[in-house]
Amino acid sequence: MTTPGSIEVGSIEGRIAEELGVRERQVKAAVDLLDGGSTVPFIARYRKEATEMLDDAQLRTLEERLRYLRELEDRRSAILDSVREQGRLTDELAARIRGAETKARLEDIYLPFKPKRRTKAQIAREAGLEPLADGLLGDPSVDPLAAATAFVDADKGVADPQAALDGARAILTERFSEDADLIGELRERMWVRGRLAAKVRAGKEEEGAKFADYFDFSEPFKELPSHRVLAMLRGEKEDVLDLVLEPEEPTEGPSSYEGIVAHRFGIADRGRPGDKWLTETARWAWRTRILVHLGIDVRLRLRTAAEDEAVNVFATNLRDLLLAAPAGTRATLGLDPGFRTGVKVAVVDATGKVVATDVIHPHVPANRWDESVAKLARLAREHSVDLIAIGNGTASRETDKLAGDLITRHPELSLTKVMVSEAGASVYSASAFASQELPDMDVSLRGAVSIARRLQDPLAELVKIDPKSIGVGQYQHDLSEVKLSRSLDAVVEDCVNGVGVDVNTASAPLLSRVSGITSGLAENIVAHRDANGPFVSRTALKKVPRLGPKAYEQCAGFLRIRGGDDPLDASSVHPEAYPVVRRMVKSAGGEVASLIGNTGVLRGLRADEFVDDTFGLPTVTDILKELEKPGRDPRPAFRTATFKDGVEKIADLAPGMVLEGVVTNVAAFGAFVDVGVHQDGLVHVSAMSRTFVKDPRDVVKSGDIVKVKVMDVDIPRKRISLTLRLDDEAAAPAEQGGGGRPQRGGGRPPQQRGQQRQPRGGTGGNSGGGGGGSTRQAPAPGNSAMADALRRAGLVDPKKGKR
């Protein structure tokens, strides 16, 4: 039996198990571990026996559902207490409350008992009019006006029969609108059959041009994609659009919403004296109370679903960015491009340490090109630079050309240039951590340092920035702050722990993302390392202040110590499992060092021979795999895209060109690709494959190097339409570049016609065919990669902001 506020753990675990399609004991084990302070990465990697192989994705879903269901149980207990205190809790009502499976259903049941301000219905009850309401509802053969005469009482505020009838109607209206089963039925019907309609407000056509696709728009609730819902909600917020929730096509009679309300309470027009009054009461309840209530619910449902999808898009893009291929320990020259203020230069050595900085002015107005090339050549030679990282902001293509000239003039330096996303670099430059890390460096130069380091190791550098500032999402500023932060923090945690961290080189922000390590503990680790030198073993971590047994258990397996006392400390084998490795060494003969990487010997060992009461077959199998390639990095190998010579600006593009480019961002409607002309092109979801594509991320992800064909170029509007289907037929030259709508070269494959419902152009996507079309999706405010991608794709006016 549970007490108020307690949690019915068994029912929660059973429900989650059913939703995940796993056994209840697996969920119970995971819940116990989470409640005990274990993190998802730790459970997924080192407690496989306990959860019977639940993976990190299942555990994240479990964690979210556990949070929701526990909040539901807390709310359920609070409602039971509230109704009990009112003296209105019956066994039947208690059973209904305990049986509610969602927050919405729970609130529907509680609505009649929820404390509220004095309503017209309550005033009518106090005036003694409830018997009149009950009598008219129970016996429609009674004439309402005649019956109401008996309830006239000036002292109670009932001046005449009509006032009595108004009070009775208020009572019935409240009763109808608070019927949980009726509300649930009508809410689902409205969701299935209703539509969201948008109209432009008078006089807002020019000011709200970016929302032009929604000036006269309507689409079923169930078919609205996330970005379209968020676009219309923003248009309403900016006073450009009026949004109307249309329950369905107008209907009358028993099948209408009003008819359903009437039928629920036995109301029917059979010619009796009270039928007309009761029918009008049902209609009044629907129009004034129920429709308003359901409208709020549907809006919330639309926003929640849109937010969930947008958060998933953001999380997926962030994961792709964090797990992008690292260039590794190679000396790198970072260039933060600029015109008037110059190009900021920073050289970092193989470990990421800043060894030189400078500012050059190769572009207008200074035009010191040769001098700039000479300076860069000297820096590259002095510091044995291998790579040049170029930020992809303003003046990026001009600076890329500068780097190309440097490589051409000095082939002996063997330099490789790479365009790098600089999203969030300015946020890092002005951050407290940057001030602490680079205290004597000008803020403008810190961006160049960040650009260089993020080429060496994107994960290690990007964790220094709030994930929301990286901005690889859509409409991020319209999303729930809590929901977004929780999702992005989980992504960062999973990525950092999936790759592993060198404890002797990692920054405090990177360490703070390791399982079991808080920000304060990360600072303590760095301080201990600075004071006592590099850690020589994982056990030495126990000397760090406040790093207790639980924190050590959670973090040790994810921290790497290279060249330390124990070669296992450089692997992902957890210290608790070292005895298993010792037994393997004893069986194979030799030393631990001779076993690591010895594929022939390791594959000759049988995992089941090393299973014991503590470590099962999954863990032993993982250990053997890890010993084959200790400390292996799960990220892909580093490679670069090659932009086509002579194609440097949008005017150089022509339909039919096949180019290599880098995917800069992925949205629900397609992917943005940088082909080296300052404007990102758009590959619409319909131009990604010959078969139906539900999610663009199934085809490409941020950072991918792809080959695309130019389908259409709209120079005045700076729009580039691309396709991944290289055999698509591009628009004829005479058709493109005129400032009109992009042509649809290639068309949509038969599998997709009628399936990819998109509004024409505009904020929410484009119906364009194989050419991908273009989209005036309004980006979220702020310096984000998505906003940058839209700006570079010509979908935002750089001078006026969102187009």
195 φ, ψ (degrees, to nearest 5): -135, 155
What integer pLDDT is reported at residue 733 of this predicted model?
A: 58
What is the SS3 assignment for 797? strand
| Model pLDDT for residues 412-450, shown as the tens digit of each residue | 999 999 888 888 888 899 999 999 999 999 999 999 999
What integer pLDDT is reported at residue 676 of this predicted model?
A: 79
CATH fold of 650-802: OB fold (Dihydrolipoamide Acetyltransferase, E2P) (2.40.50)
Write the CA distances from 342 to 272, 395, 410, 440, integer angstroms: 87, 10, 22, 20
| Helix extents (H) in 86-128 | 91-99, 103-110, 120-126
Residue 777 pLDDT > 60, yes or no?
A: no
Query: Where are any strands of DSSP class E within 73-188?
Result: none
CATH fold of 9-113: Arc Repressor Mutant, subunit A (1.10.10)
What integer pLDDT is reported at residue 795 of this predicted model?
A: 46
What integer pLDDT is reported at residue 738 of this predicted model?
A: 41
Contact 680, 793 (CB under 8 A): yes
What is the SS3 assignment for 359? strand
What is the SS3 assignment for 360? strand
Could you count the other beta carbons within 10 Å of the beta carbon of residue 432?
7
Per-residue confidence at 45, pLDDT binned at 50, 70, 90?
Answer: very high
Separation CA 601–CA 536 (nearest Å): 28
In a 13 Å sphere around the CA of 74, the CA atoms on its Cβ side amount to 6
The sign of the torsion formed by the CA atoms of 102, 107, 112, 114 equals positive
What integer pLDDT is reported at residue 610 of this predicted model?
A: 96
DSSP characters for 298-354? HHHHHHHHHHHHHHHHHHHHHHHHHTSPP--S--EEEEE--STT-EEEEEE-TTS-E
DSSP characters for 657-703? -EEEEEEEEEETTEEEEE-SSSS-EEEEGGGS-SS--S-GGGT--TT
Per-residue confidence at 250, pLDDT binned at 50, 70, 90?
Answer: low
Separation CA 135–CA 144 (nearest Å): 9
Per-residue confidence at 665, pLDDT binned at 50, 70, 90?
Answer: confident
Residue with tokens 């940058």: 788
Contact 744, 773 (CB under 8 A): yes
ω before 750 within 30° of 0 (cis)?
A: no
Residue 689 pLDDT > 70, yes or no?
A: yes
Residue with tokens 């961006």: 447
- Segment 763-767 shows an average pLDDT of 33
Those residues with Cβ within 8 angstroms of residue 502's Cβ, 6 or more apart along the chain or in another chain: 559, 560, 561, 562
Residue with tokens 């290279």: 562
Separation CA 46–CA 85 (nearest Å): 48
Helix axes 275-285, 257-264, angle to 10 degrees: 120
Helix axes 24-35, 9-20, angle to 10 degrees: 120
What is the SS3 assignment for 712? strand
- Segment 453-464 shows an average pLDDT of 94
Residue 59 pLDDT > 80, yes or no?
A: yes
The domain spans of the chain are 9-113, 120-308, 336-456, 509-628, 650-802
DSSP character for 158?
B
DSSP character for 551?
H
What integer pLDDT is reported at residue 694 of this predicted model?
A: 87
Structure tokens at 660: 């290599």
Residue 38 pLDDT > 80, yes or no?
A: yes
Residue 7 or residue 124, greater confidence: 124
What integer pLDDT is reported at residue 474 of this predicted model?
A: 67
Per-residue confidence at 317, pLDDT binned at 50, 70, 90?
Answer: confident
Residue 402 pLDDT > 90, yes or no?
A: yes
Homologous superfamily in CATH for domain 336-456: YqgF/RNase H-like domain (3.30.420.140)
Average pLDDT of the chain to the nearest whole number: 88
What integer pLDDT is reported at residue 799 of this predicted model?
A: 38
Structure tokens at 645: 């010579």
Residue 244 or residue 760, greater confidence: 244
Residue 765 pLDDT > 80, yes or no?
A: no
Separation CA 61–CA 494 (nearest Å): 13
Residue with tokens 């292996």: 632
Span between the terminal Cα atoms of the chain, in Å:
59
Separation CA 327–CA 314 (nearest Å): 24
Query: Where are any strands of DSSP class E within 475-587?
Result: 501-502, 559-560
Residue 798 pLDDT > 70, yes or no?
A: no
Structure tokens at 395: 């003046």
Write the CA distances from 399 to 337, 339, 718, integer angstroms: 6, 9, 21
Residue 758 pLDDT > 90, yes or no?
A: no
Separation CA 755–CA 693 (nearest Å): 10
Lowest mean pLDDT, pick from 460-469, 555-564, 581-590: 460-469
Structure tokens at 782: 């702020």
Pairing of strands 681-684, 719-723: parallel
Given CATH 1.10.150.310, say whether it is the number of domain 509-628.
yes
Secondary structure of 607-634 in the HEC alphabet? HHHHCCCCCCHHHHHHHHHHHHCCCCCC
DSSP character for 414?
-
Beta bridge partners of 665: 672
In a 13 Å sphere around the CA of 673, the CA atoms on its Cβ side amount to 34
Residue 743 pLDDT > 60, yes or no?
A: no
418 φ, ψ (degrees, to nearest 5): -140, 130
Q: Do you know the residue count of the chain?
A: 803
Given CATH 3.40.50.1820, say whether it is the number of domain 120-308.
no
Residue among 474, 495, 440, 520 at smallest CA distance from 226: 474
Residue among 433, 453, 443, 442 at smallest CA distance from 387: 453
| Model pLDDT for residues 649-662, shown as the tens digit of each residue | 899 999 999 999 98
* AA identity, residue 210: K
Separation CA 772–CA 778 (nearest Å): 18
Residue 537 or residue 775, greater confidence: 537
Residue among 13, 107, 133 at smallest CA distance from 65: 13
Write the CA distances from 310 to 49, 357, 471, 474, integer angstroms: 34, 39, 12, 6
Share of the chain above pLDDT 70, in %: 89
Secondary structure of 422-465 in the HEC alphabet? CCCHHHHHCCHHHHHHCCCCCHHHHHHHHHHHHHHCHHHHHCCC
Separation CA 368–CA 313 (nearest Å): 43
Residue among 180, 173, 185 at smallest CA distance from 114: 180
Residue with tokens 């049988």: 606
Contact 17, 29 (CB under 8 A): no
- Segment 364-388 shows an average pLDDT of 97
Q: pTM for the complete prediction?
A: 0.77
